[in-house]
Amino acid sequence: MNKTEPKIIKTNGIKTAVQLPSNLLCFSHLRWDFVYQRPQHLLTRFSKIFNVYFFEEPVSENIDHPFLAISVINDNLWVLTPHLQKGLSHSESIYYQTDMLNKFLLDKILSDFVFWYYTPMALEFSNQHYPSLVVYDCMDELSAFKSAPLQLKENEKNLLIKAHLAFTGGHSLYEAKKNQHENIFPFPSSIDKKHFEKARSIKIDPNDQNNIPHPRIGFFGVIDERFDIDLIQEMAEARPDWHLVLIGPVIKIDKALLPQRNNIHYLGQKNYQELPGYLSGWDIALIPFLMNESTRYISPTKTPEYLAAGIPVISTPIKDVVKPYADTGMVHIASNSKEFIHAIEKEFISSKEEWLTQVDEFLEQNSWDLTCSKMLQHIRETLISKGNTVKKYKNV
C-alpha cells in the first residue's frame, strides 16, 4: 500500500477517505535488541505503512554528556536510545529525555504522527505533545512486575485518558481494562507461522544443543520473577534421564538461585532467527510460569510459536493459555511437577497426526499480519471519528 494513499472506509452509508499519518513514534520499556516479541513483530510490519521511530528506555553509563543515539533497522524503522550519565535522579532522567524528545520533534509536524505507547512511564517526558493519534498497546500488567515504578499506575490512568485508542495483549487483560477506556480492543499474542514451521524440517542441531541427550524438554523466553524455578528443579530431580533446555536471558532474579543439575542446560539468549533450529530438536515445550499477579494477565507469545513448530506444549494454568489452547485440546495444563511429568509421559506415547492437523487449522486464522491489518482498521476508524478525513461523500 502506498503510504500517502487515502483509505476508503464505509460507515453508516457514508464513504470516508482517511489519510494515515506518515510517522509512528513508539515509546517502549523494552529494548529493540532484547527478546523478539510483540513490539518487534508489530512495528516491523508497521514500517511498511509508516516511518517508525522506536524510543526505548535509557542506557545509563559513564559518559560526560547525555545524548540520543539513532540506529537504523530498515529503510523506515529507526531505534532511538537515550544515553544518560549514571547516578541521575528520576527527575533528572525525565528532564534529559524530555529535552531529547523535544529536539527530535523540533522540525517535525506533530499532526503527521501517531504516538504508540508500551510504557505509561514515557508520558512523563512526552505528555506536552499532541500528535494526530495516541495509541496505548497494553501488552502486560506492568504494575504487577518486580520493581515496577511507584508512578506507573497513575501514569497509566493518565495515558488512558489521553489515548484515543487502546489495545490489550490478551483477553484476560482486556477484561481488566475494558471499563477504563471507551475505544479498547483485545489482541492476544499472534504468530509468524512460516518462521516457526521451519522447525519441522530442520535436521541439524545447533552446536551447543547437539550433545544434549534426548528426551529434551525445552523453554525459550525471559527467565525472570515469573519463571517457576522450583518446578524445573523438581522435574529435573524426578526424571534425571530427561534433559531440560532453557533458552533466554536471566533478568531481575539472582542467577545463583537457578537450579544446577547435569540435566538442566542454560544456553543463554538466542536471536529470533535461531529459535526454529533449537525447537527442531525438542520433544516437549514448556510454559513453566508461576501463578501470581505478574502472570495473571499475560498471553505468552511462545504458545503459538511452540505449536507452529509442531512441539507438544505443557503449561501452568495461565488464563490466556487455558482459553483457547487448552480448552480445545491443543495444550496440556499442569499445576505442579507431578502433573507436568504425567502430561509429558502421556505425550511421549501419543499420536501427533490428528493434533497437528488441529493446530495448523487453528493457526491459519492467527498471524501478526492479520493482527496488524485489524489494528490499522481501528486506527483508521478512530481517525475518522476524530475528523481526520480527507474527503467525505455520500454512497451512491
- Do 354 and 213 share a structural domain? yes
Give the C-alpha separation, 70 to 394, whole Å: 45
Give the C-alpha separation, 340 to 342, whole Å: 5
- Do 382 and 246 share a structural domain? no
CATH of the domain at 208: 3.40.50.2000
* Predicted confidence band of residue 12 (pLDDT cuts 50, 70, 90): very low
Best CA proximity match to 355, nearest among 307, 392, 291 = 307
- Do 159 and 19 share a structural domain? yes
- Do 376 and 325 share a structural domain? no
Which secondary structure element, helix H or strand E, spans residue 18, and what is its range? strand 14-18
- Do 126 and 102 share a structural domain? yes
Domain span at residue 308 reads: 193-363
128 inside domain? yes
* Predicted confidence band of residue 64 (pLDDT cuts 50, 70, 90): very high
pLDDT of residue 147: 76
Give the C-alpha separation, 297 to 280, whole Å: 29
- The count of C-alpha atoms lying within 13 angstroms of the C-alpha of 357, restricted to the half-sphere facing its C-beta, is 3
212 inside domain? yes
pLDDT of residue 13: 45
Q: What SS3 class is residue 202?
A: coil
* Predicted confidence band of residue 14 (pLDDT cuts 50, 70, 90): very low
Give the C-alpha separation, 344 to 281, whole Å: 16
1 inside domain? no
Pairing of strands 67-74, 133-138: unpaired
DSSP 8-state code for residue 57: P
Q: What is the mean pLDDT of the chain?
A: 92
Which range among 50-64, 107-121, 200-214, 375-389 shows the weakest confidence by mean pLDDT? Answer: 375-389
Which range among 7-16, 129-138, 163-172, 333-342 shows the weakest confidence by mean pLDDT? Answer: 7-16
- Do 293 and 204 share a structural domain? yes
* Predicted confidence band of residue 16 (pLDDT cuts 50, 70, 90): low
43 inside domain? yes
- Do 347 and 272 share a structural domain? yes
Give φ, ψ of 105 to 5 degrees: -90, -5
259 inside domain? yes
- Do 160 and 72 share a structural domain? yes
- Do 270 and 140 share a structural domain? no
Question: Which residue shows C-alpha cell 517526558?
Answer: 125
Would you say 164 and 380 are in contact if contact means Cβ atoms under 8 Å apart?
Answer: no
pLDDT of residue 33: 94
2 inside domain? no
* Predicted confidence band of residue 345 (pLDDT cuts 50, 70, 90): very high
- Do 92 and 159 share a structural domain? yes
Which secondary structure element, helix H or strand E, spans residue 319, and what is its range? helix 319-321
208 inside domain? yes
- Statement: residue 279 has pLDDT above 70: yes
Query: What is the Cα gyration radius of the chain?
Result: 22
pLDDT of residue 293: 86
Q: What SS3 class is residue 84?
A: strand
Would you say 280 and 199 are in contact if contact means Cβ atoms under 8 Å apart?
Answer: yes
C-alpha cell at 113: 504522527
**Domains: count for the chain:** 2
pTM over 0.75: yes
Bond from prior residue into 66 cis (ω within 30 degrees of 0): no
- Statement: residue 355 has pLDDT above 80: yes
- Do 32 and 176 share a structural domain? yes
pLDDT of residue 389: 46
* Predicted confidence band of residue 390 (pLDDT cuts 50, 70, 90): very low
Report which of residues 252 and 15 the model is more confident about.
252
- Do 379 and 352 share a structural domain? no
